[in-house]
Structure 1
Amino acid sequence: MLHDASICSQCDKCLDVCPINANPKVTQYSVDDVLALVRKNKPFLNGITVSGGEATTQLKFIIALFTAIKADKTLHDLTCFIDSNGHLPEAAWKSVLPVTDGVMLDIKAFDRALHVKLTGRSNERVLASARQLFEAGKLHELRYLLIPERTDGQQELKQLFEFVRELDVDLKLRLNAFQHHGVKGGALKWPTMKKADVERIAQDLKARGLKNVVTPSVYI
């Protein structure tokens, strides 16, 4: 399947029919290509974030891009952020952090078995990454996905609270609500997270002492 940007209407039907659940709307960019786009849109930007899937799978590109931005006299004031699931080893984080201003880190679950069930991986590396990034002063925010009957239980929320408190009660914690938008497979049968429940959990975490809990502004 090939994507023709000249006739694309952004209907996203190609995502539904792709036999390997990939995004056919892919364009390859060099560092210079991205820099050209950033310069063109500089009046509207105060920073950039690399995201989508797991951005750090292209770590060499991120390092090259962020290094080029920091060295550019017209772009060096832009902040450079990474949106990550946190599976990088310690040495890899050390290689990119000197040119990174902050990382938004996703934690899917605190119970190891539950994390494996949801992601296919243990959460040990993710939790270690959160601690490493915090100690380096580069943990911009933690993100936690609330899934009814899975990650919204008392024990999970207790561990979430204790983990954030261990780092800093002022650390930004962004609560995301599971919805069906963009979801495929068996997860389409899971219940969605309601706004009232998210707000209730947020208020409980604040009442316990967390000072920077952010809830979704839009529920899709």
Structure 2
Amino acid sequence: MNPRVNEISGSLIREMHARKRPTSIDLGLGEPSLLPNPQHFERALHYVAEHGVKYTPNAGDSELREAIAAHYRYPTMERADRVCVTVGSQEAMYVALKTLLDPARDELLVVEPAFPSYAKMAALEGVSLRSVEMQAKDGFAFDGERIAAAVSARTRAIVLCSPSNPTARVITTAAAEALTRALQRRDGEPVWLIHDEIYRE
């Protein structure tokens, strides 16, 4: 068994959730309170009845990838071949870290406060972790220059979440541009910016 698994602590979020009382207001898990639209289930059942259940291509169904690319229209990512469908954002993050970082030499920089799974994924992969704290006195606003100043010679990727989990802060255009400019001025290998957008919509 991978010894790193034993070094990773359990989820504090789940621990707190287990302690809730009947009078507690649960703000711990990002679970929607609205029920899904029944029409979506009907369409899915109709599709399965007509086509059966089959494996999709490794990167995901081509029509779905085209729809995702058209919906987001990110620069340089407008084509379906730039989209990979995963089972949720946790898998997407894990695939990104596994693909972009070499545990023997690379470091991951996490913008804090942050969702705790980022650190756990890095630990599981044996990737060195560094963090940069956004300041409570500033309402945890993203500070592009502060983030860039925390980049070391070994940093190969930065993870930030906007809107932030847990603070709900959104990175401003000015902060994003400051971070981009600072990273472009940096010598050495490029740094990947992994933007977790789970709460974008």
Q: TM-score, normalised by structure 2?
A: 0.37
Larger relative contact order (CA 8 Å, sep ≥ 6): 2
TM-score (norm 1): 0.34
